[in-house]
Structure 1
């Protein structure tokens, strides 16, 4: 059971739409980044691109999209780590 949970935990951080410009990367937590922030590179990269632009711009819409991807990944990870009743 524990191995299954660990596999599901890792899988919860995979999202093929996390990096539309880099089709070979799908891990929400670890991927190549352009900024100095190590984790959640999609969110960090989109935030660094949006900084200095007008609120409501397309760049900030991408930040919101990346944030929703991170939240969904964290919710999936939390669900994967919930205790499983013995059968």
Structure 2
């Protein structure tokens, strides 16, 4: 029995897999249409190009960020990210009582 048929026989697994496929289709469609949508609304090719770049940037930069994270000591990275997150929380708490 292969792994995919085992997942599809499980009711929860099949539902989850179906939801992931639908979500992935929606995300891909939005990534492709975002620039066209902005161009239609603003008639600006520059803004359309900027939006397309910004939508695709995480996909393009993700492998580089992953490689950097793999090279850094995990404990140090977690500590720095925790400090950044804590700083944002304390700033927002001061601004909005």
Based on CA coordinates, which of the two structures has the bigger radius of gyration? 2
User: Would you say same fold, with TM above 0.5?
Assistant: no
Return the TM-score normalized by structure 2: 0.30
Bigger helix fraction = 2
